[in-house]
Structure 1
Amino acid sequence: MTQHIPDLPEQLVPESQLPWFKRLVARMFGGGLSRLRVQHAASWLHGQADGFRSGHGAGFDYGFKEGHAEGFEEGRQVLLISDTRPQVLRAPGIDDHLFDDWRLPLSPELKKQIKADVAALLPAYAQPSAAQWKMIFSDTPSTSVVAGAGAGKSTSLVLRILLLTHYLGFELDSMTVVTFTRESRKDFISKLQQIFTLWGRPLTLKEARDVVRTFHSRILPMVRSLPGYSQLQAFETLSSRALLSEDEGDSNPFDLRINDAQRQQLNACYHALYSRDERFRETLAPLCRHALQLKELERDHPDVQKRMAVTELAAKRDEELCDLLEDLWFAAGAWPIKGIEPNRETLEINGSKFHCHGYIPQLDAWVVLGFDPRENPQISRPGAKLSVRAEWAVKRTLFRAFCSKPLIWLESYEDAKRVLSTLAGDASAGPGFDYKLKGELSSAPLLDCFVSAASFIENLGLDVAAAVGDMRFARDDPDRFFFEALSLYWRALEDHLLTQTPPVMTYNRMFSLFGENTPQNFKLLSHEQLRPLSHLMIDEFQDVSPQIVSWLRASLREIRSRGPAMHIGRGAQRSSLLCVGDDWQSIYGWRGSSPKYFMEFNKEFSSPATTRVMLSDNFRSHQHIIDAAEHIVRAAPSIAGKRAKASGELKQVVPVKVLNRDIQDLVARLTEHYNAGDRILILYRKISDKLLIEKDIQSVVNLDSSLAPEDRRLKQLTYHSAKGLQADAVFLIGDCQHLTSSPYKNQVYRMAGLGKDAESDPYDNAQKDEILRLAYVGITRAVSHCYWYLESQDGQGPNQPKASDRIPKGKAFFEDLRTSNG
């Protein structure tokens, strides 16, 4: 630092700084005084100046240093006591992760050892790819594996289990591998046993079965651990025969068929509720009338147009026809019917007068007797050109098009018995009529409809009564009464089932007992009952429902909350979740499943760290099969970045062939492939499609059926039931088409938070995407050849989208052989 020296008085100015004349005089004068040894005032003054300068410099240095030190200390003290607290106070954040922040202890040396063991013990074709190793070695608490068709995920899952148990010391009873169906569970257990044996750790069948489960077989023991429920049975597995213990809880979640034991419980509950609840009886009357009422037919329908010409002639002979039909019914002991007043009321149909046979006051509906199909179809009136059956068909068509009154047309004597039991209030055998909800493709017995609708609502994680209370229908919509009746019936059924010995409960209710809305119930479970869910590996995760997701999240949250105390003395610590799925293969939306939870995995299963793996190699199909299937499905929302490539052995690529529905062509190609030794799948959308070709392919079916089960090479299945299977040649019969709109499913979909914001028809839109995914599943069953037989495109409505709309022109992976007049 440069010091500043202040100006000096004139007498203290140094000699060297004086003007030259004064400097000369001063030297001469000063020299004389020095010789005379007289005091030299100037020298004294200059000495004083030198002292001033040196004293000032020293004082400046000392003062600066001391002042700087004191000032710095004061400043430091000021900074230390400054108020740095935030102006706005905030509460602590919430750690809502389902897992602790931890990692699997996988060192490079351990990974190297595992890879060496796999290379030595598994054949070359079973060696994992780089992506599969990423899945096996995932060390984060949560992992999502996007595995397309034919990705070889099963072996990777088994190696993951081997890693946890054999190399890291996790106990088998700390983990659960979830498969969706009994068949897939059986296959996985077999593979698990085979690979563990290669590592010198053979598993008994019981050990393997204990770790490989369905969701249903895991929830059942949890509920049975509750006081008073040790012998609980699942409604879905009720049977008139005793179940083998190892099959218990191992039901197919997508099987909706009602067996005799289940129907007995449904009918008993119905009878009790019908007897005691007046409002329930009142809701059934409009349902019964709607169900039995003759369905309308558009007046421009070809059948109506054809029969309008004989309206007047038919009316003239109608009384004679009524007489003959009543005679037939009377002779069969089916007429008169209690509850139906015989009444030949005259109705005007297309300007002519026709007659009814009776009136039902209870339903405020008119009755016409039909021609029972068991009667001789050749019966005719004397002198009539048409048979009674033909005249009856003309009358029925005209009534469907022009009758303005509520009309019940009894098609057969059996129909009459069912109506009779309903009118008589005989509820012991159930309601006695079928019902068809808007949006469903066909009618079914009323109680079956109740079970189906309630299951759909509960699969979405909703309570039936609460959901019904939030629904809205038009005043004259019979579905309004259906859901009111369902709400009353479902509550009664749950209570009825629990009073049985042993008690019975639906799986959906079991899951709801341990869902996110009922976390307190987990306090009733011991560590041993909860520990198997610590390390979860779930296959086919794209097919989970909101109900299952709620149970999984609640279970994982409870495991984390219990902390280390739950794992004392054990090799397996904390918890993890690994989910394998393919959103392109999500095809169970009609049962309440949704790919949303897999597509938004990180959001739905919050974790400190997540690994995502894309298994893009397809070890099943050649590239044309893959490209054709992906082209169809890409119009549906999906996980970004997916594109499969054919791996493994090189295969000859042939396009997917699209053909007109031609049974002879199908039989010829089928026979050719079967004689060549190929394995074959015939997949159909409707049972009618199967029946249509059954007779023509019978020779091949008979030949295959004569072989031992392991040697059979031909299977006929629905698109849905073929999932997970493969064949050299696949024959697809029929299109994948969205045919109806479901008002009630759209409503409950919105309640469950599925679909986009402000979307009016979220369920319908989801189904439009699902038909594309269903076609993808069908095509990707093929290893080498795929044939897709379609009906003529004529007559398809503009609001009925279908998967075949996506078949492109000019692409090498499709060969469209349809003719315009097919």
Structure 2
Amino acid sequence: MSLHSPDLPPDLLPLAQMPWFKRLAARFFGHGLTRLRAQHRASWLHGQADGFRSGHTAGFDYGYKEGRAEGLEAGRQVLLIRDSRSTEHPAPQVDDLLFDDWRLPLTAELKKRIKADVARLLPAHAQPSSGQWKMIFSDTPATSVVAGAGAGKSTTLVLRIVLLSQYLGFELDSMTVVTFTRESRKDFIQKLIEMFALWGRTVSQKEARDLVRTFHSRILPMVRSLPGFERLQAFETLSHRAGADEDDAQGNPFDLRINDAQRQQLNACYYNLHQRDERFRELIQPLSRHALQLKELERDHPDVQKRVAVTELAAQRDEALCDAIEDLWFRAGAWPIKGIEPKRQVFEINGARFHCHGYIKSLDTWVMLGFDPRENPQLSRPGAKLSVRAEWAVKRTLFQAFCRKPLIWLDKYEDSKRLLSAVAGDVSAGPGFDYKVKGELTSAPLLDCFVAAAGFIENLGLDVPEAVGRMCFSSNDPDRYFFEALSRFWRAFEDHLLDQSPPVMTYNRMFALFSEHSPENFKLLDDALLRPLSHLMIDEFQDVSPQIVSWLRASLREVRRRSAALHTGRGAQRSSLLCVGDDWQSIYGWRGSSPSFFMAFNKQFPSPTHTRVMLTDNYRSHQHIIDAAEHIVRGAAAIPGKKAKASGAPRLASPVTVLDRDDEGLARRLDEHYRNGDTILMLYRKSSDKLLIDKHIQSIVNVDSSLPYPQRRLRQMTYHSAKGLQADAVFLLGDCQHLTSSPYKNQVYRMAGLGQDGDTEPYDAAQKDEILRLAYVGITRAVQHCYWYVDGQDNQAANAPKASDRIGVGKPFFKDHRRARG
């Protein structure tokens, strides 16, 4: 391609094509003319031509490049097909919902008709509130109802059943209402029968009992349907009592007192395991030695500080004291003890010499005899200023604080028999000694401790040997031996129970068979066993354990999996769950329950839709009672937005009265309320407190107990036993305190995923909240009056968290009459 125009005259060649001397001359003259501002036509023409050519070339190059680029882009837009498909291959999402996406068929017309019927059939004071109607009419598959104390939840729950059955045609055998205790079950059955009668329908006792159940009475038929387990018995309901009603035997699922029939099985298993398992025998030895030895006492303990000053004086009278104590044991036929060598070994305590009474060679342990509590506490040695009991108490305190040799201190004559069995190796009647796991308040027979610890671990949904294998203890901690022994014993015990005829199984083992860890076992169940779980209504849901939650979720998944096959030809279709509870009334964490499942209900029970109902009306207490209880409990983690209000006609609101412990004053005040015709609840934390109070109110107890049961107006029980009850006047005896730390429970709590992330003591943290909830339960039993008698601080509880720390100073709902604290 030519870079100059063919139309130019030949004499106007580009300068670049001219001979070099001509180019030099042209530029020289052109430059000179330019300076003279003269014009030379040829030069001008050559310049014009050069400009034209260079501009044309540059323009052509630019245009060509731009046009070519635009053309290519236009061509791509027309010809290139963009592929928007993903290069990844994700799997389909998993449907982990427990329910189908459905709604209860409640039309506006039907709701209007139901409300009209309730207005006609129920008295004015029993008409549901707006919140209660929301609970009754909830149409989602999953519903959680936060019902505070005195919220009238039982009546509302019965109306929900009437709605499902009378208006929607759901069969009663498609439903289960779960209550936690035998008493609450009986009350609910009666309410159900009476409510259906208002609608002209007769519900028999059997129909009502089949509908209103405990968790335990639902799991038992499931296991009994398995081959070989048709006559299975639950360990918790074993009894030598003829005709025991096992459906009613489970009063409180968190309360297990070992009876004779149960202890017989425990002892038999222990004997067999002790005979055949060498490692188990090795583990029992240090436990026995630790259990029998005198427990240490801190040297800064006030009793030690008080008695150490008389160490020398006590040493001077010690041999005479030993003689007096031995004489008492000898007269009681409890000394000498076979297997114990009578031997006055000398011990040095702070430079002073004291003596013991005997030596056990097999245990390499010394023995000290104590003052039996049945002896006269005023008994004295001739010429002694102190009683024998007081002298013995001084010596015992000094040995607890300063003796570091292995020493067994026998406090009672009966202890000699138990020690004799332990020394002789006789295990036919069980271990023969008590044990105290760290964190527990009291010691108990070793096998009772096994049952309690295994129950706690299993309530958390854990396997005992697996959990024990994940625990960690210091090398000198006796609990290390305890839990290894528990692991071996518990597996042997479950096998031992199954070998009985008929076979026996613990309830926890039953729930584990049908938990989320064993979904394949549901394939063995007939539809008839699952259909009653289609529409579940659970009361006191805040007290469920992880074990129960796992069983519930697994059951609901199986109900959904069977789908239409489970409901063919029935009015009740699909499945639903309605849970009623109050996280502020969760008080069984010490046995493995947790309010976290209720607080995180939507997450724990995934559903296409959820409904939450807040019942804030309190039909029991006046506002001061409500406000005082809520003020105490607000320090605990809780569902947000809770605030109850007194319902009904306004009443005179008397504040919660807080007083120092005064048993005589309590008795006078209680007598006054009883003579005024009030119903009374006296709640205590320790059985010893009840015995002390009984001395002062015995006359009232005698009068009240002589009346027919419905007319009795005085009831005495623990805080825990009072849930669900109420009285005109409530007397609270003792504080609610978290006294100990439980290393093993903290560990298994973490294993179960309970507590806050990173919390090394999640169980202890939960218990600090629980003491506040326990006080809330106690206060909210009161209809009109509440008196709280708080103990003075003792050495054990001086720094322990307690509910009374939350009493509001200057609040109108508290009247604090306690003396100023020093």
TM range (shorter): 0.7 to 0.9
Looking at structure 2, the residues matched to 733 and 707 of structure 1 have their Cα atoms a distance apart, in angstroms, of 25
Local SS of the residue matching 2:271: helix
- AA at the equivalent of 1:537: M
Residue number in structure 2 paired with 1:222: 222
Looking at structure 1, the residues matched to 574 and 292 of structure 2 have their Cα atoms a distance apart, in angstroms, of 59
Deviation, 1:703, is 1.9
Local SS of the residue matching 1:196: helix
Residue number in structure 2 paired with 1:89: 89
Asked whether the equivalents of residues 216 and 249 of structure 1 are also in contact (C-alpha less than 8 Å), the reply is no
Per-residue Cα deviation, 1:169-190 (whole angstroms, up to 9, x for no partner): 1111111000000000000000
Per-residue Cα deviation, 1:285-308 (whole angstroms, up to 9, x for no partner): 111111111112233434334433
Are the structure 2 counterparts of residues 496 and 102 from structure 1 closer, same or farther at C-alpha, using a change threshold of 3 Å? Answer: same
Deviation, 1:380, is 5.4
Asked whether the equivalents of residues 739 and 796 of structure 2 are also in contact (C-alpha less than 8 Å), the reply is no
Local SS of the residue matching 1:405: coil
Of residues 717-726 and 236-245 in structure 1, the stretch that sits farther from structure 2 once superposed is 236-245
Of residues 115-124 and 240-249 in structure 1, the stretch that sits farther from structure 2 once superposed is 240-249
- AA at the equivalent of 1:576: S
Looking at structure 1, the residues matched to 108 and 249 of structure 2 have their Cα atoms a distance apart, in angstroms, of 41
Looking at structure 1, the residues matched to 230 and 596 of structure 2 have their Cα atoms a distance apart, in angstroms, of 35
Residue number in structure 2 paired with 1:399: 399
Looking at structure 2, the residues matched to 791 and 382 of structure 1 have their Cα atoms a distance apart, in angstroms, of 39
Are the structure 2 counterparts of residues 482 and 113 from structure 1 closer, same or farther at C-alpha, using a change threshold of 3 Å? Answer: same
Asked whether the equivalents of residues 234 and 249 of structure 1 are also in contact (C-alpha less than 8 Å), the reply is no
Residue number in structure 2 paired with 1:468: 468
Asked whether the equivalents of residues 434 and 446 of structure 1 are also in contact (C-alpha less than 8 Å), the reply is yes
Per-residue Cα deviation, 1:651-683 (whole angstroms, up to 9, x for no partner): 121211111222333223222222221111111
Asked whether the equivalents of residues 220 and 249 of structure 1 are also in contact (C-alpha less than 8 Å), the reply is no
Per-residue Cα deviation, 1:390-434 (whole angstroms, up to 9, x for no partner): 443332222222212111112232111101101211111111111
| Mapping of residues 653-668 of structure 1, within 5 Å | 653-668=653-668
Residue number in structure 2 paired with 1:509: 509
TM-score, length of structure 1 as denominator length: 0.88
1:674 aligns with 2:674: yes
| Mapping of residues 37-116 of structure 1, within 5 Å | 83-116=83-116
Asked whether the equivalents of residues 99 and 608 of structure 2 are also in contact (C-alpha less than 8 Å), the reply is yes
Are the structure 2 counterparts of residues 820 and 332 from structure 1 closer, same or farther at C-alpha, using a change threshold of 3 Å? Answer: same
Looking at structure 2, the residues matched to 557 and 308 of structure 1 have their Cα atoms a distance apart, in angstroms, of 67
Residue number in structure 2 paired with 1:557: 557
Looking at structure 1, the residues matched to 382 and 641 of structure 2 have their Cα atoms a distance apart, in angstroms, of 75
Local SS of the residue matching 2:696: coil
Looking at structure 1, the residues matched to 356 and 795 of structure 2 have their Cα atoms a distance apart, in angstroms, of 36
Asked whether the equivalents of residues 701 and 714 of structure 1 are also in contact (C-alpha less than 8 Å), the reply is yes
- AA at the equivalent of 2:664: Q
Residue number in structure 2 paired with 1:338: 338
Deviation, 1:698, is 1.6
Residue number in structure 1 paired with 2:747: 747
Asked whether the equivalents of residues 342 and 359 of structure 1 are also in contact (C-alpha less than 8 Å), the reply is yes
| Mapping of residues 118-157 of structure 1, within 5 Å | 118-157=118-157
Per-residue Cα deviation, 1:419-454 (whole angstroms, up to 9, x for no partner): 110121111111111111111111111111111111
Local SS of the residue matching 2:241: coil
Residue number in structure 2 paired with 1:173: 173
Looking at structure 2, the residues matched to 389 and 132 of structure 1 have their Cα atoms a distance apart, in angstroms, of 63
Asked whether the equivalents of residues 237 and 248 of structure 1 are also in contact (C-alpha less than 8 Å), the reply is no
Residue number in structure 1 paired with 2:816: 816
Local SS of the residue matching 1:334: coil
Looking at structure 1, the residues matched to 113 and 315 of structure 2 have their Cα atoms a distance apart, in angstroms, of 91
Deviation, 1:363, is 2.4
Unaligned runs of 5+ in 2: 1-74
Residue number in structure 2 paired with 1:32: none
TM-score, length of structure 2 as denominator length: 0.88
Looking at structure 1, the residues matched to 158 and 600 of structure 2 have their Cα atoms a distance apart, in angstroms, of 25
| Mapping of residues 182-331 of structure 1, within 5 Å | 182-245=182-245, 247-248=247-248, 250-331=250-331
- AA at the equivalent of 1:368: M
Of residues 308-317 and 556-565 in structure 1, the stretch that sits farther from structure 2 once superposed is 308-317
Asked whether the equivalents of residues 236 and 251 of structure 1 are also in contact (C-alpha less than 8 Å), the reply is no
Residue number in structure 2 paired with 1:417: 417
Asked whether the equivalents of residues 237 and 246 of structure 2 are also in contact (C-alpha less than 8 Å), the reply is no
1:586 aligns with 2:578: no
1:783 aligns with 2:794: no
Looking at structure 1, the residues matched to 665 and 317 of structure 2 have their Cα atoms a distance apart, in angstroms, of 49
Aligned residues: 748
| Mapping of residues 615-626 of structure 1, within 5 Å | 615-626=615-626
Looking at structure 2, the residues matched to 202 and 603 of structure 1 have their Cα atoms a distance apart, in angstroms, of 39
Residue number in structure 2 paired with 1:645: 645
Of residues 694-703 and 102-111 in structure 1, the stretch that sits farther from structure 2 once superposed is 694-703
Asked whether the equivalents of residues 217 and 249 of structure 1 are also in contact (C-alpha less than 8 Å), the reply is no
Per-residue Cα deviation, 1:262-295 (whole angstroms, up to 9, x for no partner): 1111111111111111111111111111111111
- AA at the equivalent of 2:489: Y
Deviation, 1:374, is 4.3
Residue number in structure 2 paired with 1:447: 447
Residue number in structure 1 paired with 2:548: 548
- AA at the equivalent of 2:455: S
- AA at the equivalent of 1:756: Q
Asked whether the equivalents of residues 741 and 764 of structure 1 are also in contact (C-alpha less than 8 Å), the reply is yes
Looking at structure 2, the residues matched to 796 and 607 of structure 1 have their Cα atoms a distance apart, in angstroms, of 48
Are the structure 2 counterparts of residues 778 and 317 from structure 1 closer, same or farther at C-alpha, using a change threshold of 3 Å? Answer: closer
Of residues 743-752 and 297-306 in structure 1, the stretch that sits farther from structure 2 once superposed is 297-306
Looking at structure 2, the residues matched to 662 and 571 of structure 1 have their Cα atoms a distance apart, in angstroms, of 61
Are the structure 2 counterparts of residues 281 and 793 from structure 1 closer, same or farther at C-alpha, using a change threshold of 3 Å? Answer: closer
Looking at structure 1, the residues matched to 237 and 379 of structure 2 have their Cα atoms a distance apart, in angstroms, of 48
- AA at the equivalent of 1:148: G
Are the structure 2 counterparts of residues 686 and 325 from structure 1 closer, same or farther at C-alpha, using a change threshold of 3 Å? Answer: closer
Are the structure 2 counterparts of residues 707 and 384 from structure 1 closer, same or farther at C-alpha, using a change threshold of 3 Å? Answer: closer
- AA at the equivalent of 1:398: L
Looking at structure 2, the residues matched to 377 and 656 of structure 1 have their Cα atoms a distance apart, in angstroms, of 41
Are the structure 2 counterparts of residues 162 and 678 from structure 1 closer, same or farther at C-alpha, using a change threshold of 3 Å? Answer: same
Local SS of the residue matching 1:578: strand
Looking at structure 1, the residues matched to 240 and 455 of structure 2 have their Cα atoms a distance apart, in angstroms, of 22
Residue number in structure 2 paired with 1:367: 367
- AA at the equivalent of 1:632: I
Looking at structure 2, the residues matched to 161 and 75 of structure 1 have their Cα atoms a distance apart, in angstroms, of 70
Local SS of the residue matching 1:347: strand
Asked whether the equivalents of residues 236 and 250 of structure 2 are also in contact (C-alpha less than 8 Å), the reply is no
Are the structure 2 counterparts of residues 227 and 78 from structure 1 closer, same or farther at C-alpha, using a change threshold of 3 Å? Answer: farther
Asked whether the equivalents of residues 738 and 801 of structure 2 are also in contact (C-alpha less than 8 Å), the reply is yes
- AA at the equivalent of 1:811: K
Asked whether the equivalents of residues 622 and 784 of structure 2 are also in contact (C-alpha less than 8 Å), the reply is yes
Local SS of the residue matching 2:139: coil
Looking at structure 2, the residues matched to 664 and 328 of structure 1 have their Cα atoms a distance apart, in angstroms, of 36
Residue number in structure 2 paired with 1:605: 605
Looking at structure 1, the residues matched to 276 and 106 of structure 2 have their Cα atoms a distance apart, in angstroms, of 65
Residue number in structure 1 paired with 2:596: 596
Asked whether the equivalents of residues 136 and 160 of structure 2 are also in contact (C-alpha less than 8 Å), the reply is yes
Looking at structure 2, the residues matched to 200 and 77 of structure 1 have their Cα atoms a distance apart, in angstroms, of 79
- AA at the equivalent of 1:808: G
User: Cα RMSD between the aligned structures?
Assistant: 2.1
Asked whether the equivalents of residues 216 and 251 of structure 1 are also in contact (C-alpha less than 8 Å), the reply is no
Asked whether the equivalents of residues 730 and 786 of structure 1 are also in contact (C-alpha less than 8 Å), the reply is yes
Asked whether the equivalents of residues 381 and 387 of structure 2 are also in contact (C-alpha less than 8 Å), the reply is yes
Deviation, 1:800, is 0.6
Looking at structure 1, the residues matched to 675 and 426 of structure 2 have their Cα atoms a distance apart, in angstroms, of 58
Looking at structure 2, the residues matched to 661 and 314 of structure 1 have their Cα atoms a distance apart, in angstroms, of 35
Local SS of the residue matching 1:247: coil
Local SS of the residue matching 2:678: coil
Of residues 786-795 and 453-462 in structure 1, the stretch that sits farther from structure 2 once superposed is 786-795
Are the structure 2 counterparts of residues 374 and 728 from structure 1 closer, same or farther at C-alpha, using a change threshold of 3 Å? Answer: closer
Are the structure 2 counterparts of residues 734 and 104 from structure 1 closer, same or farther at C-alpha, using a change threshold of 3 Å? Answer: same
Are the structure 2 counterparts of residues 208 and 75 from structure 1 closer, same or farther at C-alpha, using a change threshold of 3 Å? Answer: farther
Of residues 242-251 and 567-576 in structure 1, the stretch that sits farther from structure 2 once superposed is 242-251
Of residues 239-248 and 727-736 in structure 1, the stretch that sits farther from structure 2 once superposed is 239-248
Looking at structure 2, the residues matched to 320 and 645 of structure 1 have their Cα atoms a distance apart, in angstroms, of 69
Are the structure 2 counterparts of residues 615 and 386 from structure 1 closer, same or farther at C-alpha, using a change threshold of 3 Å? Answer: closer
Residue number in structure 2 paired with 1:736: 736
